[in-house]
Amino acid sequence: MRHLSNILWLTWKELLSLWRELLLLLLVIYSFGPGMYIESSASGEMVSKAAVTFVDEDRSALSRALQSALYPPYFLTPRTAEAAEVDRLMDWGETVFVVIVPAGFEADVRAGRRPSVQVNIDATKTMQASVGTGYLLATINAEVARFAAREDVVAASPVDLVLRRSFNPAGNSVWLAAISSLLNQLSTLTIILTGAALIREREHGTIEHLLVMPLNAVEIAMAKMIANALVVFAAFVFSLFVVVEGALAVPFAGSEALLLAGTAIYIFAAAAIGILLGILARTMAQFALLIMLVIMPIMILSGGMTPIESQPLWLQPITWLLPSRHYMEFAVAITYRGAGLSVVWIEFLWTFLLGAAVLAVSLLMFRRSVAGG
């Protein structure tokens, strides 16, 4: 009972300390609010609202048909310009693609000749340029072929492919990006806040003040984990219901309560990692360097940025040692497939066991390095 009372007292002290750290609170609010929305809505490999400008020197029905074939959400409504304006538009980044339709283009198509259409691309906009070029050329070729054949051209295929998308019929990349972004924010903020709280005590010299009180290293570490976990968990709840389900309109097939339970387990594991890094680093500068070495693998190898199956074969078994891998597995299953506890319990268990193992190592090192045994 005394140990529990000490942990609760230290947790309250840590929460008051966080309340006075305005910048940290603003960081949490931004990360789970506007930051979540921007990261999720701006993700994906599909071209979106690319700016196209036509230099129409033909002024024919076909050249106008090419312009009307480009429409949102892939492209903005094309604008027209004169040839002398092309360099200025490209230099100032006002357009990504400039399509120059030469004079006599429609007549050449009608005569069966193979006229050329020049497409200028602003390659500094890497994603739009690389992916959008394929969309643009496919649209132009299809429209020219339809016009030349005087009908809609349908390529005959020996196989009739019927596509059915499970759990995401429209292939909306924002849905998966939202969960991946939640994982990134959970990992980053939990580890940073927990580790920084421990280092701040050491740098300010207040850790010695705590140790002369009837407290032990376990109580100090647990209080910091609980306090920072509560703050991050509260921000997660807000982001899930307001940003993900509200602003991003991501449908939720499973149980929110089950996801919140799994998130609490993952926050425990991430906080344990933060305590470990806070013990290994002697200064805040060292802690920042360790964060860079730890956070990026957690994000990249979780399966949120790239599928686990696309990663090197030798690396895939190693990802099972990351709590983030298991969190991504059960979060996606609950959110989109409507999985219940009977399906995801093994991922819950692995997340807890990995967190408990890291915490055990952290407490052992903390006792030796700070509490003197």
Q: Show the tokens assigned to 242.
A: 């307001």
Q: Give residue 57's identity as a one-letter amino acid code.
A: E
Considering the entire predicted model, what is its pTM?
0.74
Q: Give residue 309's identity as a one-letter amino acid code.
A: E
Using alpha carbons, select from 52, 147, 49 the residue that is nearest to residue 99: 52
Q: Are 213 and 256 in contact (CB under 8 A)?
A: no
Using alpha carbons, select from 50, 73, 41 the residue that is nearest to residue 128: 50
Cα separation, 301 vs 296, in Å, equals 8
Based on the number of CB atoms within 10 Å of its own CB, is 111 exposed (0-12), middle (13-18) or buried (19 or more)? Answer: exposed
Please count the other Cβ atoms lying within 10 Å of the Cβ belonging to residue 211. Answer: 14
**Does the N-terminal peptide bond of residue 73 adopt cis geometry, omega within 30 degrees of 0?**
yes
Residue 278 pLDDT: 87
Cα separation, 236 vs 25, in Å, equals 13
Cα separation, 373 vs 366, in Å, equals 9
Which residues on adjacent β-strands are paired with residue 53?
A: 79, 98
Q: Show the tokens assigned to 241.
A: 């219901």
Using alpha carbons, select from 55, 45, 57 the residue that is nearest to residue 88: 55
Residue 370 pLDDT: 57
Please count the other Cβ atoms lying within 10 Å of the Cβ belonging to residue 246. Answer: 12
3-state secondary structure string, the chain? Answer: CHHHHHHHHHHHHHHHHHHHCHHHHHHHHHHHCHHHHHHHHCCCCCCCCECEEEEECCCCHHHHHHHHCCCCCCECCCEECCHHHHHHHHHCCCCCEEEEECCCHHHHHHCCCCCCCEEEECCCCHHHHHHHHHHHHHHHHHHHHHHHHCCCCCCCCCCCCCCCCCCCCCCCHHHHHHHHHHHHHHHHHHHHHHHHHHHHHHHHCHHHHHHCCCCCHHHHHHHHHHHHHHHHHHHHHHHHHHHHHHHCCCCCCCCHHHHHHHHHHHHHHHHHHHHHHHHHCCCHHHHHHHHHHHHHHHHHCCCCCCCHHHCCCCCHHHHHHCHHHHHHHHHHHHHHHCCCHHHHHHHHHHHHHHHHHHHHHHHHHHHHHHHCC
Digit-by-digit pLDDT tens for the chain (373 residues) are 666 777 776 778 777 777 777 787 888 888 888 888 887 776 555 677 889 999 999 999 999 999 999 988 788 899 999 989 988 988 888 899 999 999 999 999 888 888 889 999 988 877 777 888 888 888 998 888 888 877 554 556 677 778 887 887 767 778 878 888 888 889 989 998 888 888 877 766 666 566 656 666 677 778 888 888 899 999 999 999 999 888 888 888 889 999 999 999 999 999 999 989 988 888 888 888 888 888 888 888 888 777 888 888 888 888 899 999 999 999 989 998 889 999 999 999 999 999 999 999 988 887 776 545 4
Strands across the sheet containing 79-80: 79-80, 52-56, 97-101, 118-121
Q: Give the pLDDT confidence of 209-226 residue by residue, as tens digits.
A: 666 566 666 777 788 888
Cα separation, 32 vs 21, in Å, equals 17
* Cα→Cα distances 153→32, 146, 186, Å: 48, 5, 50
Residue 309 pLDDT: 83
